[in-house]
Structure 1
Amino acid sequence: MKLDSASSMESLCKQYTNLTPDDVLKLKEVAASIQLMADLNQSNIFIDCLTKEGTHAIVVAEAAPSISKTLYKNSVVGKFAYDAFEPGVVFTLKTGKHMLLNRAITQECKTVEQSVMPIKNSKNKVIGTLIMEKDISDQVSHQRKLEALSEATEKLSGILIGMAENRPIISEVIEEALFFIDGDRKVLYCNPPATNLVLDLCDKKCIAGTPLTAYLPSLEELINHSEELLVKEIKISNRFYQVKKIDLGSEEKPTGTFIIMRDMTELREKERELIVKSVAIREIHHRVKNNLQTVASLLRLQMRREVPEESKIHFIKSLNRILSIASVYEIILSSSSVDEVDLHSLIEKIGNMIVYGEEHDNKEISIVYEGSRMLVNSSKAVSMALVINELIQNCIKHAFKNQERGQIKVSFDRIDQDLEVVVNDDGAGYSKDAKHSFGLEIVKMMVEHDLGGQFTIDRTENGTCASVKFQIERQGDRS
């Protein structure tokens, strides 16, 4: 790849994408070979990356075959690839799945056979796509001519029957406003939604032969844009519209332009409401966390001043329960989620707080965790926080009385719709004849009533195993 091409790629990635310098370096390595690929396959090769908005892609590198005809008259580096015209590219960028021998429309309105492969970084994250395009315009043209001969009679009769029965054709019943304008930007056709849109926005009737910009001056820049295919969102009279421009014909012989407008106001309003609700929910979580930490601080202050030594253990248990619940809200606030908690982070935070944050009569106690990242909603997370707190406290209090050291292992796994959390220790072993502690009573109540699950605790060959199993999402959990 040439030095100026490498500089252009780096500049485009920095301006339009969220890629890291390491990601850009990986793309440069791939780009160094695309000219060889283009010559070998007699195809145009491109590298596209997802833009910051995540709605479309941008071309950051290209190579045309040097010994055969190229697809494009002009360079497309820096051009956008929209989902509406090149769905395979955006699909691969978002999913990491390849798309082979897929048909697409180029920036210059040519039909091509397109294959798309993901480009991934060292962390297996998709950072771009490698695209190969072959011109099949002649093949498609020949195929269409054959199809036209057999379908012409059927289409003509269908249109005639529709007119006879006073039924609207497709353009008359689609929800989007559709305008067809000529080279002078004069309206040749507009469907009923387009007529109503003009009437609503400027209180005028859309008349054929009048320039569209006379009714909608906000569209002038988009209509005059040199791109043949363009999608843009604009605001007109406090309403939001997605506007698509499709130029027909060629530069030498244009035949007209389609302008398609879709009212996005309701969608944008709902998005705004969701953002406001998300901010409100996070503010509530923040206040709950602060209130719990205030209560914890008051308990610590009380312990230092007026609590007998023999009663401090009960205060510590209450303190840990409060801090376990507070951990739920700390994790929510530190993540991008509004109301979901990573179970692994929650269990690790609570376990480390209890095992490594306190003295245990000179005993050396360690804790390990096993399980992948798993999200649960905040209400379940609060119940799980209390359950994990009590089970780990139970291990520390009862399992290692006659041992100098011990280990606690917390593992969790998803089985279909059920989540199972298991707490093992290598201590003395649980006795069924022993009276249940208050902590285990809390666990049993929380699991059965709040989580709708089952709790079991049994002696094993190497200690004790406590298991909690419940459905991750029960009917009625979500609205």
Structure 2
Amino acid sequence: MSDMDLESPIDPLDDNLGLDEEDIDHLKRLRAAWGLVADFAFGDLLLYVPSLSDQGNYIIVGQVRPSTSQTLYPQDLIGKQVPIAEVPIVAEALVSGRIVNGNRDLGERPDPVLISAIPVRRVSTKTLGVVTMVWEDEAGRRPGQLEHTYHELATGLSRMIAEGAFPFPGESVSVEEAPRVGDGVLVIDSQGLVSFASPNSVSVLHRSGVHIPVVGSQMEDLGIGVGAMQGAFVSHVPVIEEIERRGDIYILAQCVPILAAKKITGAFILLRDVTELRRRDRLLLTKDAAIREVHHRVKNNLQTISSLLRLQTRRLDEPKATEALREAERRIRSIAIVHEILSRDSANQVPFNEIVRSLVRLATDTVMTERPIEIKVHGDAGAVLAEIATPLAVAVAELLQNAVEHAFESADNETDKSGEVGTIDLVLSHSNDLLTVEVRDNGVGLPDGFTLDSTGTLGLSLVRDLVRSQMAGELTLFNDGGTVARLTIPISPNRAPTTVEI
């Protein structure tokens, strides 16, 4: 095939091909579902649509390779323009609206391959494009029952494509763990009688405790996939169900009806043993529960320590010792808040705004000044990694507490008693790679000559070290109508820690 590159979007169906939205949606759903056809046909499928810009060409807008056989097209053909003269069978199917069978010389192969050109319809009168099904000629050997049955199923699905019945109305992309052809196939007639069972399907049934002869049995006798079959026969669309057998065996059964002139002529049922997947799911649930329990116990232990420190504080007469224990107790409570959030959800990321609400309440409870103080929260920090949440919570708590205690002091360290409300704004924002937290107040501001490295306060020193060593971020302090403390934390990994001082 002599192809020319087509300059188009990643998905050529999104280019201007003269198709309306419903046509494009139909073709995209066909591409999402046609893996079944390729597997049953042991062949490659290509989807051709006429080129709007060059009426002498077709554009290949879809390609799928079989998982049951070797591909005949190892190269990627999506987005290629093909002259109409090179694929006359496609032109015939597009014009006639009928399935056309023939053979084709691929050039690099010594023998021709078989090809079936299938018109694609959304409604009975409108042909959107053509699917070619290409597979090797088996003239040199006699195909077995499995190959013969699979080709019959591929033929039935091809007729449904030509009638506009496949993909099924409303059908979306299958779930990741949905059964495939290689997992196991049962073929049934319109009365639920099994006419064929692949070796893998028999193995799945044996593992689920079914040991009667499968072929010739009714689905009700097998006890597997009955609900999926009944649902598919009633709704005329595929139905998938999960069956639990003997308490420890889990089988997925998907029934796909075969339609002719809108009437069900039979169906095939795909079977997959998902026991191992469910075992892993249970292990993950157990692990998540264990992690949540660890966080819950850590939170309880921290709260116990906090209570002990609070009790000890009441027994002290030394003001400095009392203040030191209060600060330690508050920091422990900040850490406990994070573990409380993590005990509810063991996810690797934590919605930091939930933590912020508790930190604000913690800072508000410690206000002991005569001047009224109001703390406002703006913006959204998004979700942060669990290993960042703890040091960030401690840092934000320290900055809020520092603003509550010192922002509204006069030059002689006396609290401003003017009655004007002191405002502390906690501003949160995040992008794809950076988290920014600002604590702003309308207080007295930083003293002249202030530098972060020369500060003697334990709280700011703690914030500085946490930001540098555990969050690889930057801490900036400056005056702007009061004091502004700005934290910038890289969300992307491998960011070198730096500190900026103003």
TM (norm. structure 2) is 0.59
Could you tell which deviates more after superposition, 446-455 or 360-369?
360-369
Note if contact 2:227-2:241 (Cα within 8 Å) is conserved in structure 1: no
Query: How far off is 1:255 after superposition?
Result: 2.4
Aligned to 2:404: 396
Deviation at 1:258, TM superposition (A): 1.1
**Which of residues 392, 396, 407 is equivalent to 2:423?**
407
- Pick one of 356, 374, 378 that aligns with 2:382: 374
Q: Does 1:258 align with 2:258?
A: no
Partner of 2:443: 427
Determine if the alignment matches structure 1 residue 319 to structure 2 residue 335.
no
Deviation at 1:308, TM superposition (A): 2.0
Aligned: 1:164 with 2:140: yes
**1:148 corresponds to which letter in structure 2?**
I
Query: Aligned AA for 2:217?
Result: P
Q: Tell me how far apart the structure 1 counterparts of residues 187 and 95 of structure 2 sit (CA, whole Å).
A: 23
Q: Distance in 2 between matches of 1:252 and 1:323?
A: 67
Q: Which residue number in structure 2 is paired with residue 444 of structure 1?
A: 464
Per the alignment, residue 96 of structure 1 pairs with: none
CA contact (8 A) 2:204 2:271 kept: no
Q: Displacement, 1:239?
A: 1.6
Unpaired segments ≥5 residues, structure 1:
1-98, 106-141
Which residue number in structure 2 is paired with residue 458 of structure 1?
Answer: 478
1:428 aligned counterpart, secondary structure = coil
Cα distance in 2 between the residues matched to 1:254 and 1:343: 54
Structure exhibiting the larger radius of gyration computed from Cα positions: 2
CA contact (8 A) 1:324 1:350 kept: yes
> Residue 296 in 1 paired to residue 306 in 2?
yes
* AA matched with 2:464: K
Change (3 A) 1:197 1:162: farther
The answer on whether the counterparts of 2:292 and 2:346 sit within 8 Å (CA) in structure 1 is no
Measure the CA separation in 1 of the matches of 2:209 and 2:348: 44
Kept in 1: contact 2:444–2:482 (CA 8 A): yes
Question: How far off its partner does 1:280 sit?
Answer: 1.1
Aligned-residue offset at 1:433: 3.6
| CA distance in 2: counterparts of 1:205 and 1:144, whole angstroms | 50
Per the TM alignment, residue 338 of structure 1 is displaced from its structure 2 partner at its CA by: 3.8
Could you tell me which of 345, 350, 357 is aligned with 2:354? 345
Distance 1:163-1:235 versus aligned 2 partners, 3 A rule: farther
AA at the equivalent of 1:470: I
The 5-angstrom pairing of residues 58-457 of structure 1 reads 100=22, 102-103=25-26, 146-149=97-100, 154-155=114-115, 161-162=137-138, 164=140, 171=150, 174-183=181-190, 185-201=192-208, 208=215, 210-211=216-217, 213=219, 216-220=222-226, 222-223=228-229, 227=234, 228-229=236-237, 230-237=239-246, 238-249=248-259, 254-333=264-343, 336=345, 338-354=347-363, 356-372=364-380, 374-402=382-410, 403-404=416-417, 405-431=421-447, 432-433=449-450, 435-436=454-455, 437-457=457-477
Cα gap change, 1:318/1:182 in structure 2, threshold over 3 Å: closer, same or farther? same
Q: 1: CA distance between counterparts of 2:366 and 2:272?
A: 61
The structure carrying a bigger helix percent of its residues is: 1
Relative distance call for 1:442 and 1:160 in structure 2 (3 A) is closer
Q: Is the 8 A contact 2:184 2:199 kept in 1?
A: yes
CA, structure 1 residues 180+443, in 2 after alignment: closer, same or farther (shift >3 Å)?
same
Q: Deviations over 1:46-94 (max 9, x none)?
A: xxxxxxxxxxxxxxxxxxxxxxxxxxxxxxxxxxxxxxxxxxxxxxxxx
Provide Cα deviations, 1:256-307, integer angstroms capped at 9, x if missing partner.
2211112222222222222212211111111111111101110111111234
CA–CA distance in structure 1, aligned partners of residues 334 and 427 of structure 2? 18
TM-score, normalised by the number of residues in structure 1: 0.62
Q: Is the 8 A contact 1:411 1:421 kept in 2?
A: yes
* C-alpha contact (below 8 Å) 2:391/2:466 kept by paired residues: yes
Q: CA deviation at 1:188?
A: 2.5
- Tell me how many residue pairs correspond in the alignment: 338
Is the partner of 1:401 in helix, strand or coil?
Answer: coil
Corresponding residue for 1:65? none
The 1:207–1:427 alpha-carbon spacing in structure 2 relative to 1, beyond 3 Å, is: closer
Q: How far has the Cα of 1:358 moved from its partner? A: 2.3
How far apart in 2 are the matches of 1:193 and 1:163? Answer: 26
Residues 202/475 of structure 1: CA separation in 2 closer, same or farther (3 Å cut): farther
Residue 164 of structure 1 aligns to a residue whose secondary structure is coil
What is the one-letter code of the residue matched to 1:248?
I
Cα distance in 2 for partners of 1:311, 1:160 equals: 87
Q: Distance in 1 between matches of 2:466 and 2:142?
A: 66
Of 469, 474, 478 in structure 1, the residue corresponding to residue 493 of structure 2 is 474
Distance in structure 2 (CA, Å) of the matches to 1:145 and 1:262: 40
- Structure 1 residue 361 displacement after superposition: 3.2
Relative distance call for 1:449 and 1:165 in structure 2 (3 A) is: farther
Q: Deviations over 1:132-189 (max 9, x none)?
A: xxxxxxxxxx979625126688436955624637898695993231111224544323
**Partner secondary structure for residue 243 of structure 2:** strand
The higher-RCO structure (CA 8 Å, 6+ apart) is 2
CA contact (8 A) 1:352 1:367 kept: no
Task: Report deviation, 1:366.
Answer: 1.6
SS of the equivalent of 2:115 reads helix
What is the rounded CA distance, in whole Å, between the counterparts of 1:472 and 1:313 in structure 2? 35
